[in-house]
């Protein structure tokens, strides 16, 4: 009889033995399944990492070892539960059936890599995830609302700095365990679903820098755990919801760079520690913020006096660019001993500094009171605020001498006391080794010092009657303010740089000769004086020529196109027209000069009537050759999607050989600059809506003789206001109405086209940025007279605030009727300020003239600046003065002190000129 092996002496036929056998079988099966799961997970992880790891990194991973032994991987009981792969240089796509098979994952972090779309759908099946971070990658797809709704255990969702687009998924509201939500720096559009704020566990919400619009849901105030909310950098509007002050857990609120309006009284008595509401349209008084440490309410429309609204914990206060008033000493004495930063520039504060307790401001490092009405002396006690690093008291009514012991401020690096009535000696400043920036200009009775002039340049002493290079006997630096360290280094590197420049100049001359043989180019405006620039724009016809090679005759070029009917014209608006380049040739008479209507920096423009009675403008891009056919087609298609009632629409394009032509809707009344300068006598006058206008469709801008323009041609103030508002709305759409902010780069009067109703349309949108690789200074730095000062500085970058500056110049043109450069700029006695006089430098530009008038605060001079042709009555005069003030703010030297274009829209909308006036 065969012997049986009993386990532990128990017979398998007994009940206990049977139970033990079943248990053993299930245990073995579980071990087999568990081992099988581990093998699947190992294969999935190997495939994922081998696909996304850089080759230099993948070689260092021992893929033959178990995944739980790898770095950055967390396991529990041999099962992978966490991947922490931040900043490892991962790139490419996440393969399907890799990460999605790790069903026990609770933590997944792939942030700070270069992973790309699409995200595999199986990733959204990881229902145990509580932590998901895909931030700072290159995922460019619609926010996966349905997929996210599966992750019901999710507590932290971090998708910031990608390219997620489309609406904000309402399904996120189904994640009832979510505590942290960061979707910032994406391209999410639409409104904020109320469901997002129906998650009681939410503590942190950051959806800043997207394209959201609409108002805040009222459900926001019902979140008991929320302590951080950042919705800045969107296009949100409306007021703050009632009850926001009852959110006792909310400590940080950032709604800056939006279009919120209304009062801030709902914030009274709130527990907020950081209140950041800058660059909006809020009105009324400053709320009571006794618990706040950081308050930034700059660039709004706040008004009124400040009466004990801040508490003892305040560290930073920024109220610049509002309409606030009151005694400056009351405000400064209402701060704490921990106070470090104060900026109330561009307001209406008054009073003196003599009553300020500077000894109590022992930690104050930044003080900006510029452009207010502060008067009296600068007290000696200011040195008791011994940590001051930045002082700007410019454009006030200060008098007397400099504080006696100002040199005791050993950390001071920036001092601006310009445009006051200070007097006396400044020699003590020469001993302040920490000083890197100094501006004492336009204090007529203030002395100067040869050492200071040598260190900081003559510009720091402009307008001082007793200070000139001859008087101080020193060679003055040729441009700008310079620090002492800059001058020292300059001596050391001068010879080397000089040699390098000599080589570059010789090379440039040779290159210029070669280029000149091919085509005539615009002169380099950045190298011209203001008077030379003015003469350039006064005689643009010197640079007029044929369209493609810029020869006077385009015939040879046209002859080289063997079969024009085979070159297609792509039309976005009317694709069924089936146009070809031959149609463009017929409509422009082979791009004859007689059909050319303007010459801009981007290229000549021709008027044409295409088949179907379609009247268009055809622009030949002089720098278009730098674009490949594929890039040009893609970029033009993208530009065609920019649609707004105040933007000239791109109708189509044609790529023929090396040339790129763009086709725009024709604007019957031409460019705004022609209206501001007048029009030739031969133009046929028409009457429409009681406003005189002219038909520019058959006239060539190169033939305009500005000197012979009739004085009777003008725009009424209501029309000018309509133009200002329409243009502001166009820019607001570009800056804040898109998922990605668009900077125009070349806002100027000749790029503002007027239709039959004299409605403004911004032209060349996107073209300057498209051609920004050009070496022509026009593309990099804007147009003379319109370019903001920062564009001309080393490292200067284009920005929306650069567009705001250029827009401000147009406002000044509309109000004064003067050109941005090269016009006659007069003082209150009618004396041209072009020549140097009374210790002042010559003023050859509109912005400098207006800023001088505003700084001098002489009402008679400011009234003289208004264009009498539009100043029809006292109402118009008042509105023109207000628009002049807006233009003054828009053209502030520092970008941070300019309003956003959204704020400008709000200000202009508040004015309602009578459109029936003549």
Catalytic, 746? Answer yes
Contact 138, 94 (CB under 8 A): no
Contact 322, 278 (CB under 8 A): no
76: which DSSP letter?
E
Annotate 741-775 with DSSP letters as a single string. ----S---GGGEEE-TT--EEE-STTHHHHTTT-S
Q: Which of 583, 746, 803, 823 is catalytic?
A: 746
- Rounded Cα distance between 693 and 239, Å, is 41
Q: What are the residues whose beta carbons fall under 8 Å from the beta carbon of 250, sequence distance 6 or more? A: 226, 227, 228, 229, 244, 270, 271, 272
- Rounded Cα distance between 432 and 408, Å, is 8
Three-state secondary structure call for residue 555? helix
Long-range contacts of 117-122 (CB under 8 A, 24+ apart): 117/93, 117/141, 117/163, 118/93, 119/94, 119/144, 119/147, 120/94, 120/95, 120/96, 121/96, 121/147, 122/96, 122/97
The four Cα atoms 457, 460, 465, 466 give a dihedral, to 10 degrees, of -50
Residue recorded with tokens 């009514």: 397
Contact 161, 184 (CB under 8 A): yes
Rounded to 10°, the helix 901-909/717-736 angle is 150
- Rounded Cα distance between 916 and 918, Å, is 6
- Helix/strand/coil (H/E/C) assignment for every residue in 129-163: CCEEECCCCECCCECCHHHHHCCCCCCEEECCCCC
Describe the chain by its helix, strand, coil percentages, rounded to 5: 35, 20, 45
CA nearest to 671, candidates 740, 599, 721:
599
Distance of CA 41 to the CA centre of its chain: 47
CA nearest to 778, candidates 621, 628, 554:
621
Residue recorded with tokens 């000139």: 468
Ramachandran assignment for 184, one of left (phi > 0), alpha (psi -120 to 50 degrees), beta (any other): beta
Distance of CA 684 to the CA centre of its chain: 41
Three-state secondary structure call for residue 608? strand
- Rounded Cα distance between 143 and 383, Å, is 55
Q: What are the residues whose beta carbons fall under 8 Å from the beta carbon of 179, sequence distance 6 or more? A: 155, 156, 201, 202, 203, 204, 225
- Rounded Cα distance between 640 and 631, Å, is 14
Q: What are the residues whose beta carbons fall under 8 Å from the beta carbon of 502, sequence distance 6 or more? A: none
- Buried-exposed string 635-653: b where 16+ CB fall within 10 A, e elsewhere: bbeebbebebebbbbbbbb
Contact 522, 515 (CB under 8 A): no
- Rounded Cα distance between 833 and 585, Å, is 49
Mind telling me the catalytic residues?
746
């Amino acid at each position: 009889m065969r012997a049986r092996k009993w386990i532990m002496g128990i017979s398998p036929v007994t009940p206990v033995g049977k139970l033990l056998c079943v248990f053993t079988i299930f245990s073995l099966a579980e071990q087999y399944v568990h081992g099988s799961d581990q093998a699947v997970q190992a294969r999935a992880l190997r495939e994922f990492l081998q696909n996304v790891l850089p080759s230099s990194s993948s070689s260092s991973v021992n893929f033959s070892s178990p995944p739980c032994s790898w770095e950055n991987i967390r396991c529990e009981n041999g099962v992978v539960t966490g991947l922490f792969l931040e900043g490892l240089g991962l790139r490419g796509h996440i393969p399907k059936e890799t990460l999605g098979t790790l069903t026990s994952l609770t933590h997944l972090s792939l942030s700070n890599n270069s992973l790309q779309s699409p995200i595999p759908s199986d990733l959204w099946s990881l229902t145990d995830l509580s932590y998901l971070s895909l931030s700072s990658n290159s995922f460019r797809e619609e926010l996966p609302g349905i997929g996210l709704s599966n992750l019901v255990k999710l507590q932290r969702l971090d998708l910031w700095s990608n390219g997620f687009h489309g609406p904000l998924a309402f399904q996120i509201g189904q994640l009832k365990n979510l505590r942290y939500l960061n979707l910032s720096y994406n391209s999410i559009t639409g409104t904020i679903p109320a469901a997002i704020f129906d998650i009681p566990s939410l503590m942190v919400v950051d959806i800043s820098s997207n394209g959201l619009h609409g108002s805040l849901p009222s459900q926001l105030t019902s979140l008991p755990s929320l302590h951080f909310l950042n919705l800045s950098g969107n296009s949100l509007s409306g007021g703050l919801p009632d009850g926001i002050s009852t959110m006792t857990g909310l400590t940080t609120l950032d709604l800056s760079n939006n279009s919120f309006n209304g009062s801030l009284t709902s914030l009274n008595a709130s527990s907020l520690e950081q209140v950041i509401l800058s660059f909006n349209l809020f009105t009324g008084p400053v709320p009571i913020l006794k618990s706040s440490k950081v308050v930034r309410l700059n660039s709004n429309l706040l008004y009124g006096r400040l009466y004990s609204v801040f508490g003892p914990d305040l560290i930073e206060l920024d109220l610049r660019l509002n309409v606030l008033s009151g005694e400056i000493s009351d405000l400064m004495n209402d701060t704490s001993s921990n106070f470090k930063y104060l900026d109330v520039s561009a307001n209406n504060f008054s009073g003196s500094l003599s009553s300020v307790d500077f000894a109590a401001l022992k930690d104050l490092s930044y003080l900006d009171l510029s452009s207010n009405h502060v008067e009296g002396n600068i007290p000696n006690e200011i040195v008791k605020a011994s940590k001051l690093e930045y002082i700007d008291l410019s454009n006030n009514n200060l008098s007397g001498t400099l504080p006696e012991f100002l040199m005791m401020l050993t950390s001071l690096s920036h001092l601006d006391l310009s445009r006051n009535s200070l007097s006396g000696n400044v020699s003590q400043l020469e001993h302040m080794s920490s000083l890197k920036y100094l501006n004492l200009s336009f204090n007529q009775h203030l002395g100067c010092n040869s050492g200071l002039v040598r260190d900081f340049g003559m510009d720091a002493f402009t307008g001082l009657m007793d200070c000139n290079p001859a008087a101080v006997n020193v060679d003055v630096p040729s441009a700008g303010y310079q620090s002492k360290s800059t001058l020292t280094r300059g001596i050391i590197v001068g010879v080397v740089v000089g040699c390098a420049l000599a080589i570059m100049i010789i090379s440039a001359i040779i290159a210029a000769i070669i280029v000149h043989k091919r085509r005539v180019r615009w002169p380099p405006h950045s190298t011209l004086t203001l008077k030379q620039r003015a003469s350039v724009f006064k005689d643009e016809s010197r640079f007029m020529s044929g369209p493609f090679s810029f020869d006077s005759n385009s015939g040879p070029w046209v002859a080289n196109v063997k079969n024009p009917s085979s070159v297609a014209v792509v039309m976005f608006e009317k694709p069924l027209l089936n146009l070809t380049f031959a149609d463009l040739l017929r409509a422009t008479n082979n791009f004859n000069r007689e059909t050319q209507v303007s010459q801009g920096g981007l290229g000549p423009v021709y008027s044409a009537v295409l088949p179907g009675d379609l009247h268009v403008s055809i622009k030949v891009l002089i720098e278009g050759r730098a674009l490949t056919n594929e890039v040009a087609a893609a970029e033009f298609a993208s530009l065609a999607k920019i649609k707004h009632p105040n933007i000239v629409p791109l109708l189509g394009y044609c790529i023929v050989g090396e040339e790129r032509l763009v086709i725009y809707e024709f604007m019957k009344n031409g460019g705004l600059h022609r209206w501001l300068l007048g029009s030739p006598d031969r133009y046929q006058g028409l009457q429409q809506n009681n406003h005189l206008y002219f038909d520019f469709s058959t006239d060539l801008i190169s033939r305009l003789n500005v000197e012979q323009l009739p004085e009777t041609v003008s725009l009424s103030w209501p029309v000018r206001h309509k133009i200002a508002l329409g243009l502001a709305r166009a820019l607001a759409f570009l800056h804040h109405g898109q998922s990605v902010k668009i900077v125009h780069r070349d806002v100027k009067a000749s790029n503002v086209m007027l239709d039959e109703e004299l409605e403004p349309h911004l032209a060349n949108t996107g073209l300057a940025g498209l051609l920004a690789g050009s070496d022509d200074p026009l593309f990099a730095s804007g147009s003379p007279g319109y370019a903001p000062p920062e564009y001309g500085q080393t490292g200067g970058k284009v920005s929306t605030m650069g567009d705001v500056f250029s827009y401000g110049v147009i406002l000044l043109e509309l109000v004064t009727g003067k050109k941005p450069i090269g016009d006659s700029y007069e003082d209150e006695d009618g004396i041209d300020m072009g020549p140097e006089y009374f210790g002042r430098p010559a003023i050859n530009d509109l912005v400098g003239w207006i800023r001088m008038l505003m700084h001098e605060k002489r009402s008679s001079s400011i009234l003289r600046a208004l264009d009498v042709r539009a100043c029809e009555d006292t109402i118009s005069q008042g509105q023109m003065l207000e628009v002049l003030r807006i233009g003054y703010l828009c053209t502030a030297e520092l970008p941070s002190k300019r309003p956003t274009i959204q704020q400008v829209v709000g200000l202009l909308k508040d004015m309602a000129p009578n459109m029936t006036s003549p």
